[in-house]
Amino acid sequence: MTAAPAKTQSSAPTTKAGKAADYLDQRTGIGVAVKEFARKVFPDHWSFMLGEIALYSFIVLILSGIFLTMFFVPSMGLTTYHGPVATMDGTQMSEAFASTLRLSFEVRGGLLMRQIHHWAALIFVAAMVVHMLRIFFTGAFRKPREINWVVGFLLLVLGLLAGFSGYSLPDDVLSGNGLRITDGVVKSIPIIGSYMSYMIFGGEFPGSDIIPRLFTVHVLIVPALILALVAVHLVLVVVHKHTQYPGGGRTDKNVVGFPLFPVYTAKAGGFFFVVFGVLALMGGTLSINNVWNYGPYDPSPVSAGAQPDWYMLFLEGSLRLMPGQTEYVIGGYTLSLNVLVPAAIIPGLLFVFLALYPFIESWVTKDTQPRSVLDRPRNVPTRTGLGVAFITAFVVLVLAGSNDLIATHFHMSINTITWVFRFAFFIAPVLAFWVTKRICLGLQRKDRELVLHGHEHGRIVRTEAGEYFEVHKPLNEQERWLRVNYEAHAPLALDEQPYHEDGTKNRKYRSAKLRSALSRFFYEDRIEPVTLAELEAAHHHEPHEIADGSDESRQQLS
Amino acid sequence: MSDSNLVSTSSDTEVATSEQFSDPGVPEHKLRLGDTDPKAAKRSERIVIALFGLSILGTIGMMAAYFGLPQDTSIAGVRIQNLTLGLGLGFALLGIGLGAIHWAKSLMSDHEVVEERHSVESSPEARAEAIQKLQDGVADAGVARRGVLKGAAISAVALFPLSFAVPLIGEIGADWNISKFRHTVWRRGVRLATDPTNRPIKASEVTIGSAYHVIPYAEDIDEEVRPGSHAWLDEKAKAIVLMVRMEPNELKEEDDRKDWSYEGIVAYSKVCTHVGCPVALYERQTHHLLCPCHQSTFDMADGAKVVFGPAKRPLPQLPITVDSEGYLVAQSDFTEPVGPSFWERLK
Ligand code: HEM
Ligand code: FES
């Protein structure tokens, strides 16, 4: 293998690059790292770029964010506006809002950076979500990658926090109302809610502390945490080596792909510029968050049809769906379940399910092997069904968060739509689970069919005896291997008794029972891959089948 | 790479007995056009060069737009500037990105390479050694023998964060006086004024069917909380009111609130009892007031009770009357806290 010039020259280097490398290596020992990493193998697949999109948009966020910090004033001090935006002339507003106007109108390229920053934020979160779905549906979270799943999950939560804190900074009417909703939600927390509200706002809403506080959260705390976790995330990817899709020659013990240098460096580095370039074009052509149309924050006005950024819509929808009857007064204290359930408990459950999923699945599977070959989603029907059910619940909430737009667009009553979504939130995920699982099982059966009987050829042949049959072309080795090389897990047997032999209660029984019940839920319906014996038996029954798809045999038959 | 490097599930001879398929190995490598045809390779090279050229043009374009366009701060001017700068930057970046990717795809080696994976865990020897080292360390420190020292060390380390946390918690909520939620600047005699122009409203000008966004009249409240001060925003956030007039016989009023309205004019807090948005959309025919945030709907003819949506409680009513000059005035503050519920609201 050719090596980068930086390494392994034991004799004195002669070229300039060689000398520089020698200088560095004598002081850092970098040669070992280069030797280790330069030709590290990465498998290739379009879905592996999703994480890259997230990473690159984060870098774009940092770059454009640094530009914004040069001009943005994180202060709620009041000022009277005199500037190019005629409609705002003489209006009292916070320094934060005034500086956002200045950024947009008077700093050349400022609006571009604001818009790139905002689009990058939307894409950043979206890419993380889709990346996470890829990991989920292909089982890339299995041993040894469970911890990295949790790291990724934390990154998603931090991404939401980053987006929310940034969205609030310009101190316009929309973001101010968002903060007010936050205040209302915080106040609903039992016992400490009012104090939490005071803690966040430094007194009563809106106060004069929240923007500077959010600024520190937004440009220091959250980005620093994200950066640290991204580092952990990537180090773990290198330690584990990337997963790969199933196929010939790909096993849990190897990795098949292209070397980091030069192919992957060029592709990944190039891809960074593509992501940045696309975001720049978006910032240049698609306007977003035109705060001068909303005006500075004022507690009184509000506009119908205003939407938060997409990743907050599910919370909005969840708040909208909950019927108000569920606020209770207990012993004189107010318990606002109408706010707590939709804003904290339901999102909490969804997020806990996400965070814990790898551990749940490994518990009911009792799989202790490291797994680096990905699952085809159809081969794990229950997991795939659960994933689709999760997405469905999320989408129902997002749609509910836009129910006013749906109502005006389709001329329907908002009450009807709300009722439909209330039911849909419970029914649609169950349906989605069931349908997805059936589809997966169907696809698995189809795979079996293909392996056993080959591709349909579309040609009917008549035998000498006068029988008609359709010619099938058997799969080639690679096609077949893809379809037979998976493990169909069986449910775990219940191996504990309720009582010990001496009649005492067996403490492990209940958990073992739950485990085997869950395991049955996961693996009861399963389709085993075709075995060689089955394939041979199938061939035996179909003596007329052509042996392979070569032209020669085709001619014989046609 | 030869297949012998790959760990397949079974070797060929085993197949018949173990009933398993064998791994066919990495699929055969297919040559690209450019691998065999120097002309195709040359063409790819030219495309890559053109893409990098596009990037250079993009940067030049961006510079031209930055220096060339006149500083025009109208919305249209800013839009044009934004568009040209964005296109320039976009092409500058896309040229580099697409160029590099095309280079990698068409001209660099596309032979797949196989690398062994090693299990992540440390070897048993390494583990044993690590545990031994830790034990040696513990023994060296002699923690086991020096119980009091251990206790003292742990206590000291556990306690010192207090000196960071206590001042922080003490100061972060300002005066921590959460009873402020219960009061607004409305008092007996404070005139109802239009929002935002702050003009006191006479009962006679309020026509039937009309709705007013109302704030307390600036002259009637303390100087330090008037519009223009920072405290005003905090007060306004609680004091906003929506006032409507309907035929007095359309109003359903509880007995003890009959004198809270004035000739069919009623005033209710505009802060939603759900999570606090301003409730602003009034439908004159139905007397329904809709909160745009989560669509809680309040019936202004019936005590602002909730008729739909996630809010539970009616909007608090501001008792009003008229003063000697005919201006609408408050009779008192709200009689309950406005806005979203909180734990000790009724205490
Ligand atoms: C970590 C991911 C980040 C996300 C998701 C994010 C998101 C956002 C969003 C949605 C806005 C509102 C933009 C608007 O329309 O005005 C914003 C504003 C802002 N962000 Fe970020 N951001 C991130 C990181 C950063 C970083 C690293 C910095 C600085 C080093 C930064 C600095 C700013 C500043 C100064 C503003 C206010 C400027 C304005 O509103 O015009 N951001 N951010
Ligand atoms: S704040 Fe009014 S309905 Fe939620």
Minimum distance, in Å, between the CA of residue A183 and any CA atom of chain B: 7
Token code pair at residue B96: 């580099």
Nearest to A108 among B81, B114, B308 (CB): B81
Residues B209 and B86 in one domain: no
Looking at all shown ligands, the one closest to residue A404's CA atom is 2
What is the B236 CA–ligand 1 centroid distance (Å)? 28
Residues A24 and A67 in one domain: no
What local confidence, expressed as pLDDT, does residue B119 receive? 86
The answer to whether the CB of B281 is under 6 A from ligand 2 is no
What is the B337 CA–ligand 2 centroid distance (Å)? 16
What's the farthest any 2 CA atoms get from each other in chain B? 109
| Residue A369, in any domain of the structure | no
| Residue A513, in any domain of the structure | no
Answer whether A532 sits within 8 Å of B6, measured CB to CB.
no
Residues A12 and A132 in one domain: no
Paired residues of B60 in beta bridges: none
Partner B, chain A 4-33, Cβ-Cβ below 8 Å: none
What local confidence, expressed as pLDDT, does residue A60 receive? 98
Buried b (16+ CB within 10 A) or exposed e, B91-106: bbbbbbbbbbbbbbbb
Answer whether B7 sits within 8 Å of A272, measured CB to CB.
no
Pairwise CA distance, residues A511 & A506, whole Å: 10
Nearest to A280 among B89, B104, B340 (CB): B89
| Average model confidence (pLDDT) across chain A | 91
| Residue B124, in any domain of the structure | no
Buried b (16+ CB within 10 A) or exposed e, A70-109: ebbbbbbebbebeebbeebeebbbbbbbbbbbbbbbbbbb
Nearest to B276 among A92, A180, A332 (CB): A180
Q: Does A274 contact B at CB distance below 8 Å?
A: yes
Peptide bond connecting B196 to the previous residue in cis, omega within 30 degrees of 0: yes
| Residue A121, in any domain of the structure | yes
pLDDT digits (tens, 9 = 90+) for A334-376: 999 999 999 999 999 999 999 999 999 999 999 889 999 999 9
pLDDT exceeds cutoff 90 at A380 = yes
Contacts (Cβ under 8 Å, ≥6 apart) of A210: A76, A168, A179, A200, A201, A202
- Of B190, B300, B274, B295, the residue nearest B235 (C-alpha): B190
Q: Which atom of ligand 1 is nearest to the CA of A110?
A: 41
Residues A410 and A536 in one domain: yes
Residues in chain B: 347
| Residue B197, in any domain of the structure | yes
Q: Which atom of ligand 2 is nearest to the CA of B295?
A: 3
Residues B325 and B196 in one domain: yes
Looking at all shown ligands, the one closest to residue A113's CA atom is 1
Q: Does A75 contact B at CB distance below 8 Å?
A: no
Residue that the structure tokens 């699952």 belong to = A375
pLDDT exceeds cutoff 60 at A5 = no
Pairwise CA distance, residues A495 & B12, whole Å: 37
| Residue B1, in any domain of the structure | no
**Secondary element (H or E) of residue A258:** strand A254-259
CATH code of A297's domain? 1.20.810.10
What local confidence, expressed as pLDDT, does residue A550 receive? 40
> Nearest chain A Cα to B196, which residue?
A300
The answer to whether the CB of B306 is under 6 A from ligand 2 is no
Paired residues of A420 in beta bridges: none
Contacts (Cβ under 8 Å, ≥6 apart) of B140: none
Under DSSP, the state recorded for A77 is -
Q: Which of B277, B288, B289, B306 to mutate to test the pocket of ligand 2 (most atoms within 8 A of CB)?
A: B277
Under DSSP, the state recorded for A545 is S
Angle at A284 between CA A280 and CA A285, to 5 degrees: 120
Residues A406 and A268 in one domain: no
pLDDT exceeds cutoff 70 at A147 = yes
Partner A, chain B 132-161, Cβ-Cβ below 8 Å: none
What is the A117 CA–ligand 1 centroid distance (Å)? 6
pLDDT exceeds cutoff 90 at A36 = no
Residues A65 and A32 in one domain: no
- Residues of B in Cβ contact (< 8 Å) with A84: 73-74
- Of B21, B15, B13, the residue nearest A484 (C-alpha): B21
Answer whether A284 sits within 8 Å of B114, measured CB to CB.
no
Whole-angstrom Cα Rg for chain B: 38
What local confidence, expressed as pLDDT, does residue A10 receive? 56
- Of A245, A236, A53, the residue nearest A146 (C-alpha): A236
Q: Which of B294, B308, B338 to mutate to test the pocket of ligand 2 (most atoms within 8 A of CB)?
A: B294
| Residue B131, in any domain of the structure | no
Total domain count, chain A: 3
- What DSSP line would sit under A22-68, residue for residue? HHHHHHH-HHHHHHHHTT-EE---GGGHHHHHHHHHHHHHHHHHHHH
- Of A343, A354, A350, the residue nearest A153 (C-alpha): A354
> At A420, is the pLDDT very low, low, confident or very high (cuts 50, 70, 90)?
very high
Answer whether A258 sits within 8 Å of B280, measured CB to CB.
no
Residues B162 and B42 in one domain: yes
Minimum distance, in Å, between the CA of residue A509 and any CA atom of chain B: 32
| Residue B339, in any domain of the structure | no
| Residue A291, in any domain of the structure | yes
User: Could you tell me the strand order of the sheet in which A41-42 lies?
Assistant: A41-42, A254-259, B113-116
- What DSSP line would sit under A455-495, residue for residue? EEEEEEEE-TTS-EEEEEEPPPHHHHHHHH----PPPPP--
Residues A202 and A70 in one domain: yes
Residues A441 and A481 in one domain: yes
- Residues of A in Cβ contact (< 8 Å) with B344: 194, 333-334
Residues B183 and B325 in one domain: yes
The answer to whether the CB of A102 is under 6 A from ligand 1 is no
Angle at A246 between CA A241 and CA A249, to 5 degrees: 80
CB A326 within 8 A of CB A311: no
Crossing angle of helices A110-138/A49-69, nearest 10°?
Answer: 150
Residues B103 and B220 in one domain: no
Residues B157 and B219 in one domain: no
What is the A174 CA–ligand 1 centroid distance (Å)? 16
Answer whether A532 sits within 8 Å of B237, measured CB to CB.
no
Answer whether B176 sits within 8 Å of A195, measured CB to CB.
yes
Q: Does A277 contact B at CB distance below 8 Å?
A: yes
What local confidence, expressed as pLDDT, does residue B224 receive? 93
| Residue A342, in any domain of the structure | no
Global pTM?
0.92
The answer to whether the CB of A289 is under 6 A from ligand 1 is yes
Residues B155 and B226 in one domain: no
| Residue B210, in any domain of the structure | yes
CB A222 within 8 A of CB A158: yes
SS3 track for chain B: CCHHHCCCCCCHHHHHHHCCCCCCCCCCCCCCHHHHCHHHHHHHHHHHHHHHHHHHHHHHHHHHHHHHCCCCCCHHHHHHHHHHHHHHHHHHHHHHHHHHHHHHHHCCCCCCEEEECCCCCCCHHHHHHHHHHHHHHHHHHCCCCCHHHHHHHHHHHHHCCHHHHHHHHHHHCCCCCHHHHHCCCCCCCCEEEECCCCCECEHHHCCCCCEEEEEECHHHCCHHHCECEHHHHHHHHHHCEEEEECCHHHCCCCHHHHHHCECCEEEEECECCCCCCECCEEECCCCEEECCCCCCEEECCCCCEEEECCCCCCCCECCEEECCCCEEEECCCCCCCCCCCCCCCCC
Dihedral sign computed on CA atoms, order A500, A504, A507, A513: positive
Dihedral sign computed on CA atoms, order B269, B272, B273, B276: negative
Of B131, B153, B170, the domain-final residue:
B170
Minimum distance, in Å, between the CA of residue A496 and any CA atom of chain B: 31
| Residue A93, in any domain of the structure | yes
pLDDT digits (tens, 9 = 90+) for A60-116: 999 999 999 999 999 999 999 999 999 999 999 999 999 999 999 999 999 999 999
pLDDT exceeds cutoff 60 at A7 = no
What is the A180 CA–ligand 1 centroid distance (Å)? 20
Contacts (Cβ under 8 Å, ≥6 apart) of B112: A256, A257, A258, B1, B26, B29
Residues B165 and B213 in one domain: no
Q: Does A474 contact B at CB distance below 8 Å?
A: no
Residues B224 and B308 in one domain: yes
What is the B291 CA–ligand 2 centroid distance (Å)? 6
Instruction: Print the domain residue range for A22.
Output: 1-38
Pairwise CA distance, residues A360 & B115, whole Å: 31
What is the B243 CA–ligand 1 centroid distance (Å)? 39
Residues A110 and A182 in one domain: yes
Paired residues of B306 in beta bridges: B298
Q: Does B66 contact A at CB distance below 8 Å?
A: yes
Residues B203 and B312 in one domain: yes
Helix/strand/coil for A556: helix
Partner B, chain A 148-207, Cβ-Cβ below 8 Å: 177, 180-181, 183-185, 187-195, 197-199, 202-207
- Of A193, A191, A192, the residue nearest A333 (C-alpha): A191
Partner A, chain B 29-58, Cβ-Cβ below 8 Å: none
What local confidence, expressed as pLDDT, does residue A542 receive? 60
What local confidence, expressed as pLDDT, does residue B327 receive? 97
Answer whether B90 sits within 8 Å of A271, measured CB to CB.
no
> Nearest chain A Cα to B314, which residue?
A324
Residue that the structure tokens 């709907």 belong to = B297
> At A125, is the pLDDT very low, low, confident or very high (cuts 50, 70, 90)?
very high
Residues A280 and A413 in one domain: no
Q: Does A447 contact B at CB distance below 8 Å?
A: no
| Residue B146, in any domain of the structure | yes
The answer to whether the CB of B272 is under 6 A from ligand 2 is yes
Residues B149 and B184 in one domain: no
> Nearest chain B Cα to A1, which residue?
B113
Minimum distance, in Å, between the CA of residue B27 and any CA atom of chain A: 6
Q: What φ, ψ does residue B192 adopt, rounded to 5°?
A: -85, 130
- Residues of B in Cβ contact (< 8 Å) with A322: 310
Pairwise CA distance, residues B39 & A82, whole Å: 63
Residues B47 and B153 in one domain: yes
| Residue B250, in any domain of the structure | yes
Instruction: Print the domain residue range for B67.
Output: 30-115+141-170
Residues A3 and A58 in one domain: no
CB A345 within 8 A of CB A143: no
Total domain count, chain B: 2
CA distances from B344 to A342, B8, B182 (A): 21, 67, 10
Q: What φ, ψ does residue B305 adopt, rounded to 5°?
A: -70, 155
**Chunked in runs of 10, what are the mean pLDDT values of chain B (347 residues)?**
36 46 89 87 96 98 94 91 97 98 91 89 94 93 87 96 96 94 96 96 96 96 92 96 95 93 96 95 93 94 96 97 97 96 93
Residues A63 and A6 in one domain: no
Partner B, chain A 204-233, Cβ-Cβ below 8 Å: 204-208
CA distances from B193 to A81, B190, B219, B347 (A): 24, 9, 10, 31
Residues A220 and A76 in one domain: yes
Indicate which of B293, B305, B313, B345 best probes the interface with A, i.e. most A CBs within 10 Å of its own CB: B293
Answer whether A108 sits within 8 Å of B110, measured CB to CB.
no
CB A309 within 8 A of CB A121: yes
Answer whether B85 sits within 8 Å of A284, measured CB to CB.
yes
Looking at all shown ligands, the one closest to residue A229's CA atom is 1
